[in-house]
């Protein structure tokens, strides 16, 4: 089950909202916990008991760490290390064992038969949330809850379990902000945010999905230059609207139940540099690596430059690996390490005094990001290199290029709006309208009507069967 399924939209969510907000405050966390377990069971029933066991394990370890006083420092450290080791071990077994063993046996010149184990739903997000919870309890950034229910709810919350955002435990522990008596404005804002996410996913990401699948399922060596560029640009947009749409839905749903959820995307394609891009894209993942890996290693406040680049290397190697067990993700992550290291070493783009030079650097940055998404999307390094080679060496075929023209014309409206909404045009219009009462009323009325229309338009696609899976659900 995913957020854009008809069952979720018309039965699961409405029923849960009614039950939740009509219940006593003391019962609400239990209702939400049970609902989260049901949601996971519907999406990955084969791993349901693993999910429950992993949740119970982390709740117990966190509770034990919190109960140990500081005079038992060694015991607390042992519990923390044990908890992290088990979480990393589970992640390694399901996600990386085949990759490591396969790479080793190929290096030895032998074949390796994959175990064919499916990846548990949201395992990377779950493990990172679990680790952050244990560390935050250990460092006393959060108080250990008097009841483990809130810890279990944080780890299993259905609004975030599949693809984040990577919220911190403080957003759920020890009690919801306002409980069941949330402000009506907050609930409405959550609904609006959810509708925005649905529209991003269904009306913008899904049409691009068909183009991307057609291009990337073709033999890379047979692509024309126009086809390769179309596929790469469409994937850059599709991935953004897919993941940003999911994040909007997750944030909106979380708000509707009275909790807070951090932002995950801040118009990343408006970036002025590679470094800034990663402060705007998947914000919560970047914050996780910053707080739990980069800063503990010394961050930028180190006595020698080589330590700074060592820290960056470790973070970006792990960032690449977190996204998938494939050498394409390793190369993709290390490419960002090199680019960010160059920016830190040269001081770019802050050193530009000319607006023209700064603008050109922004264009080059977007160009590089688009190329690296090809590596991210490709099945292997060889395919990625051939694909990129086709982009930079002219290849034409009248039949294929006619198909490219047809796809662009057929999806022209979606492509235009996909490009348009990569910039904060809606917030800009809203800020202008809010200056005057009359224009603000007109804006609010138009926004509500437009949201209702677009939501039902999106739902019509879902009902018709046009409901592609979320890309980041595979991580």
Catalytic residue IDs = 323
Distance CA 82, CA 90 (A): 12
- Percent helix, strand, coil in the chain, to 5, is 75, 0, 25
Residue whose C-alpha is closest to residue 218's, from 372, 56, 344, 387: 387
Q: State CA 172 to chain mean position distance.
A: 20
Tokens representing 170 are 């403080």
- 243 by DSSP, 3-state: which? helix
Distance CA 386, CA 388 (A): 5
Who contacts 425 (Cβ-Cβ below 8 Å, separation ≥6)? none
CA angle (61 as vertex; 98, 258 as ends), nearest 5: 95
Tokens representing 149 are 């229910």
Tokens representing 374 are 């090809």
Backbone angle region of 265, left / alpha / beta, with phi > 0 → left and psi within -120 to 50 → alpha? beta
Distance CA 54, CA 353 (A): 53
Distance CA 168, CA 103 (A): 35
Output the CA–CA distances (angstroms, integers) from residue 104 to 101, 108, 111, in the order listed.
5, 6, 10
Distance CA 194, CA 189 (A): 9
CA angle (454 as vertex; 451, 458 as ends), nearest 5: 135
């Amino acid at each position: 089950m995913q957020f854009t399924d008809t069952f979720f939209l018309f039965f699961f969510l409405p029923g849960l909202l009614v039950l939740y907000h009509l219940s006593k405050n003391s019962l609400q966390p239990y209702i939400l916990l049970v609902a989260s377990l049901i949601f996971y069971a519907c999406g990955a029933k084969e791993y349901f008991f693993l999910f429950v066991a992993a949740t119970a394990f982390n709740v117990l370890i966190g509770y034990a760490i919190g109960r140990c006083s500081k005079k038992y420092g060694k015991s607390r450290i042992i519990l923390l290390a044990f908890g992290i080791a088990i979480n990393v071990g589970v992640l390694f077994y399901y996600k990386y064992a085949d990759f490591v063993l396969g790479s080793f046996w190929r290096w030895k010149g032998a074949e390796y038969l994959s175990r064919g184990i499916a990846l548990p739903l949201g395992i990377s997000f779950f493990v990172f949330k679990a680790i952050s919870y244990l560390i935050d309890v250990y460092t006393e950034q959060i108080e250990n809850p008097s009841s483990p229910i809130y810890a279990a709810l944080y780890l299993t919350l259905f609004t975030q379990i599949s693809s984040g955002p990577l919220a911190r435990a403080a957003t759920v522990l020890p009690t919801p902000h306002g409980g069941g008596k949330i402000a009506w404005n907050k609930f409405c804002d959550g609904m609006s945010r959810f509708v925005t996410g649905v529209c991003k996913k269904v009306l913008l990401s899904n049409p691009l999905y068909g183009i991307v699948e057609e291009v990337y399922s073709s033999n890379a060596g047979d692509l024309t230059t126009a086809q390769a560029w179309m596929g790469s640009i469409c994937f850059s947009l599709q991935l953004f609207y897919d993941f940003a749409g999911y994040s909007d839905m997750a944030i909106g749903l979380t708000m509707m139940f009275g909790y807070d959820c951090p932002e995950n995307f801040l118009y990343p394609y408006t970036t002025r540099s590679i470094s800034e891009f990663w402060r705007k894209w998947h914000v919560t993942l970047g914050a996780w690596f910053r707080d739990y890996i980069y800063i503990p290693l010394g961050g930028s406040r180190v006595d020698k430059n080589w330590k700074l680049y060592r820290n960056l290397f470790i973070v970006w190697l792990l960032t690449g690996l977190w996204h998938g067990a494939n050498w394409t993700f390793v190369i993709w992550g290390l490419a960002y390490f090199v680019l960010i290291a160059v920016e830190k070493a040269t001081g770019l783009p802050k050193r530009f005094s000319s607006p023209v030079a700064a603008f050109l650097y922004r264009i080059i940055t977007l160009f590089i990001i688009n190329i690296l998404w090809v590596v991210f999307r490709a099945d292997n390094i060889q395919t990625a290199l051939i694909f990129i080679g086709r982009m930079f060496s002219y290849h034409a075929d009248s039949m294929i290029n006619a198909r490219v023209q047809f796809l662009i014309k057929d999806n022209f409206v979606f492509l235009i709006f996909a490009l348009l909404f990569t910039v904060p045009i809606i917030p800009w219009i809203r800020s202008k309208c809010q200056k005057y009462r009359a224009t603000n009323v007109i804006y609010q009325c138009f926004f509500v009507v437009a949201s209702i229309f677009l939501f039902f338009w999106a739902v019509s696609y879902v009902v018709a069967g046009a409901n592609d899976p979320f890309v980041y659900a595979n991580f």
